[in-house]
Chain A
Amino acid sequence: MAERETPVELVRLTRRFGPVTAVSDVSFRISEREVFGILGPNGSGKTTTIRMLCGLLAPSEGHASVAGFDVGREPDRVKENIGYMSQSFGLYRDLTVDENLRFYGGLYGLDDALEGRLAWAHERMRLAAFGDRLVAPLSGGEKQRVALACATLHRPRVLFLDEPTAGVDPGARRLFWQIIRGLAEEGTTIIVTTHYMDEAERFDRLAFLSLGKLTALGTPAEVKASFGVGMSLEDIFVSLQEQSS
């Protein structure tokens, strides 16, 4: 990680499914240490964009690079350098916390570094007391932190969080955002999709998508200003949703 290219860059990114254009001509850059939000109602192209950035879906037109790798041409390299946490916590409930961590560590080929990273995860994610516990009975916030630990064990350069705080109580949510901030300060670029507009204020910058197009881009304050005085992010979201339905 000597060279520091732009961690995430989208250039006229477009994806079509048959006659439907899910993502149309979207361009933006995200810099290092940024916590970046992608917001938009259902069907806005949010998920398709994330899937392309994760190397799961090839762009129809335009291109995007993540951690310096082209998502269409080098999806495998992209996958090695990102972390992804889905809203459903892709954890094995019948495994213990440490077994989950070791499994994901193995998938990213951590080998010798594994024990050190396990200790890091215990400390940073406040999981030290849970190592030998099964995942199933943990609370929503605890599961969330285990999932986050699994997604960051291999020190990804870019971390994707898909609706990360769904079904998590406010206290756990605050702790989660503290941890996220800490990761960003250490140099991780973080991309978050969310429906919770109150959380949008936490992002350094955000992009609003509507009907597959980029409709706003900037800091929360800039985005609010561009939609007119007195509009909250929630108002903007609702009005976009109404337009699209």
Chain B
Amino acid sequence: MNLRRLKAIVTKEFIQMRRDRATLGMLMGVPIMQLMMFGYAIRQDVRDLPTVVFDANRTRQSREFVQRLLNTGNFRLNGPVDSYDRAIEAIDHGWARAGVVIPADFAQRLKTGRPVAVQVLVDATDPTASQSAIGAAQLVGQVENVEVMQSRIGALPGRLPLEVRVRPLYNPALKSALFIVPGIIGMILSNILIVITAMAVVREREHGTLEQLIVTPLSRTEIMLGKIAPYVLVGLFQISAVMLVGHLLFGVPMRGSLPFIYGASLVFIVANLGLGLFISTLVKAQAQAMQTAFFFLLPNVLLSGFMFPREAMPAAARWAGLLLPLTYYLQIVRGVVLKGVGLVELWPQALALVGFAALFFTFSTLRFHKQLE
């Protein structure tokens, strides 16, 4: 290892990076763009479903009931309709996502103590979107029941016998952004770095410059380190940018140790660069490198727990997820950022990352060396 030679190649990489405006823009801009997209656009907590109401009863009680539903914030009144069929029609056409149907004898039945059914139609084509509306409607029904019972029996003694108190920890407002934004850090690091490293090495081969490099005193390890060193810095810059903007725009906290985040990120970056380098040894052209990288990107999005909870996955998918460094990195980032935990709680994940980094890096170095012969 010769530091002067290493400096020469790192300098060269930086000049090339600076000169390639499109790639530089991508490296700097994409993390922020993805942050905006995921942070603002992705909401798993669906609120304000446009709702039509067919109130066949038209009494004070029926209007009160509808108002209660609206007050949950899950429904937004889109207008009354004059029949059940119209309500269905509105949902069929997508004018509304929910419909409330109140029978003509609603108030009478309540008053005389006979059971009455209110129907809430929910467009459940998207199960996630409809979930909270369904829950809210059921809750309103229960509250209403308790009140009716209370008024019938007379005053209940102060309180209900059993009350479940739920206290959401770490993210009390249940904001999606808090969950998504730390995940984006891992997503961006792995996706961009894998593609960029693979492309950078393949480009040298395509242009015949790698052939020229290996006849210089530059060792193979120096070539590799020189090529990836600039991207380690890029990766660290991206993490910082996403964390900062995530904090300013979405109020994402930093409850744990910043040095631990950077330490774990460094290991994660090395693992991904190793993977990128490995891809570069498998392919001949930049376009191929891009396609092969995508092969790794999809599992990263789908199986790592970035968007979909791993707990909900079938066993095979869960195991497949364990083969992705991103899975462990996400647990670390979310743990540190949101829960404020550290190495004491997260050492198994940290250890897994170190293992991946060592494995990928050793393996791709060997392949890289062999290939240059």
Contact = CB atoms under 8 A, between A and B. Distances in A.
B215 A79 contact: yes
Interface in A153-186: 160
B284 to A, nearest CB: 15
Given A94-B19, A107-B217, A88 B8 contact: no
Interface string B1-29: 01011011101100110011000000000
B139 to A, nearest CB: 62
A106 B4 contact: yes
A99 B8 CA distance: 10
A174 B16 CA distance: 33
B19 to A, nearest CB: 5
A88 B211 contact: yes
A84 interface: yes
B112 interface: no
A161 to B, nearest CB: 12
Given A76-B219, A91-B209, A105-B8, 11 more contacts: A57-B373, A86-B211, A90-B209, A90-B210, A94-B20, A103-B11, A104-B216, A107-B8, A107-B217, A107-B218, A109-B5
Contacts of B16: 92, 94-95
Given A54-B215, A90-B211, A92-B12, A107 B373 contact: no
Interface string A114-155: 000000000000000000000000000000000000100000
Interface string A43-71: 00000000000111100000000000000
A103 B6 CA distance: 10
Contacts of A93: 207
A57 B372 CA distance: 10
Interface residues of B, number: 26
22 contacts: A54-B215, A56-B214, A56-B373, A79-B217, A80-B217, A84-B212, A86-B212, A88-B208, A88-B211, A89-B208, A90-B208, A90-B213, A91-B209, A91-B212, A93-B207, A102-B8, A103-B8, A106-B8, A107-B5, A107-B218, A108-B217, A109-B5
- For the residues of B in contact with A, the DSSP-based class is helix
A97 interface: no
Contact of A82 (B5, B215, B218): B215
- A-B pairs, top 8 by smallest CB distance, nearest first, are A90-B212, A106-B8, A88-B208, A84-B215, A107-B216, A103-B12, A90-B209, A79-B217
B210 to A, nearest CB: 8
A71 to B, nearest CB: 12
A56 B216 CA distance: 10
Interface of A: 54-57, 76, 79-80, 82, 84, 86, 88-95, 99, 102-109, 111, 150, 160
A93 B212 CA distance: 13
Contacts of A55: 215
Nearest to A83: B215
A108 B4 CA distance: 9
A46 B211 CA distance: 16
B211 A99 contact: no
A74 to B, nearest CB: 12
A106 B209 contact: no
Nearest to A105: B8
Contacts of B214: 56
Contacts of A109: 2, 4-5, 217
A86 B208 contact: yes
Contact of A56 (B12, B208, B215): B215
B207 A88 contact: yes
Interface string B196-225: 000000000001111111111111000000
Nearest to A90: B212
Contacts of B2: 109
Contacts of A160: 215
Contacts of A94: 16, 19-20
Contacts of B7: 106
Contacts of B20: 94
A153 to B, nearest CB: 11
Nearest to A50: B215
Nearest to B222: A107
A111 B12 CA distance: 16
A106 B217 CA distance: 11
Contacts of A79: 215-217
A90 B9 CA distance: 14
A211 B353 CA distance: 51
Contacts of B4: 106, 109, 111
A94 B5 CA distance: 20
A201 B256 CA distance: 75
Nearest to A103: B12
A160 B212 CA distance: 11
B233 to A, nearest CB: 19
A69 B373 CA distance: 20
Contacts of A54: 215
B4 to A, nearest CB: 5
A111 B19 CA distance: 25
A237 B76 CA distance: 87
A54 B212 CA distance: 11
Interface in B217-255: 217-219
Among A82, A95, A99, A106: residue with most chain B CB under 10 A: A106
Contacts of A104: 216
